[in-house]
Amino acid sequence: MHPYHIPVLLNESIKAMNLKPGGIAVDCTLGGGSHSQAILEREPGVKLYSFDQDPDAVQHCRFLSEQYGDRFKIINDNFANLRTRLSLERVKKIDSILFDLGVSSHQIDTDVRGFSYMRDGRLDMRMNQSGELTAEIVVNDYSKEELVRIFRELGEERESSRIAAAICKYRQEQRLATTGELAEIIDRATMSKLKIKARTRIFQALRIFVNQELETLRTALKDAVNILNPEGRIVVITYNSLEDRITKKYFLYEQLSCVCPVSFPRCLCSKQQRLIINPDLTPAADDKDNNRARSARLRSATRI
C-alpha cells in the first residue's frame, strides 16, 4: 500500500474487473498507483492504460513504468478524453475499466492544494493545476445566487443561502483566500450543531464545480460502455450521493431493452440492452480505518 494514497475496496474492485489474460484494461484514476499495480500483479498478461490529470500522480507512478515496461502506459489527461486518447494509442476496444472517483489521499493531505478544511492552505481545489478556475475565484467573484446554487446542487447543503450570504459579507472587507477562512465562515453561518458536515458539503460542492466532476463522469461512463468488448466489465467506486446516483442511473438505463412509455402497444424506440448490473458492494471491516471508506460504494456491470 502506497502512502501517497490509501485505496478503498482494492481487492473487490480488481476482482470485479474480471481481468482477462491478454486483455486490455484501463484505470481511469491512477492516483498513487495502488489499483494499477494490483491490476498488473493480478493478471500478468494484461496491458494497462492509466489516466490521471494530476502531474503529481503521474510523477509518483513513474516507478510502475520502470517495473512493468510495455505492459503499462500512463496517460496524463482527464478521463473525459478517454476515448480520444485511447484511439491515439490505437486502442478501439477494451476488456475492463475502473473509475475510483473523488480526490486522492495525497491531494487531501497536501495543504497547498486546498481540498481539505482540516488543513489551512490556498483555496485552490484544482485536480489539474493548469486549469484556470480555482475555488478562490468562485467564492470571491461569483454572485450570492450562483454560490447558493452550487452549494445546494453539488453539496446538498440545507443552509446554502446563509453560508453564501456570509461569504459575500466577508469578501466586502477582504478577499477570501484560504481554506481556514472559509471553514470559519461556514462555522459561524451554520445554525445546526453539525458544522463539520456543513464544511464537508461546501468543500465538496466547490471541488466538484471547479473540476466539473459530474459532467466529466457522465461523458466518461458513456464512452467506457461504448468501447467495452462483450463480457467486458465497468467498475465504479463512488464517494458521494451525486456521483453514485449518476452511475446507478446510467447503469439502469443501459440495462433496459426498451424505454417506450408503457402505454405504447409495442416497442418503437429500438433501444438495446447493453449492460447487466452486478451486485454493488460497500467496504469491509478492514477498510474502516480509512476515512474515505465510510461513504464508498462499488458498482459494476458487464457488457453484453
Of residues 126, 182, 145, 153, the one with CA closest to residue 190? 182
Whole-Å CA distances, 303 to 18, 51, 228, 234, 280:
12, 21, 7, 8, 16
Do 195 and 156 reside in the same domain of the chain? yes
Same domain (yes/no): 24, 79:
yes
* Segment 28-77, tens digit of pLDDT: 999 999 999 999 999 999 999 999 998 888 999 999 999 999 999 999 99
pTM of the model: 0.92
What 8-state DSSP symbol labels residue 113?
G
Local confidence band at 234 (pLDDT 50, 70, 90 cut-offs): very high
Same domain, 89 and 18: yes
Q: Are residues 145 and 228 in the same domain?
A: no
What region, left, alpha or beta, does residue 154 occupy, with left being phi > 0 and alpha being psi -120 to 50 degrees? alpha
C-alpha cell belonging to residue 106: 495525497
What is the grid cell recorded at 148? 447558493
Query: Which three three-digit cell numbers place residue 38?
Result: 494490483
Q: Do 115 and 203 fall into the same domain?
A: yes
Range of the domain at 118: 108-211
29 and 62 in a common domain: yes
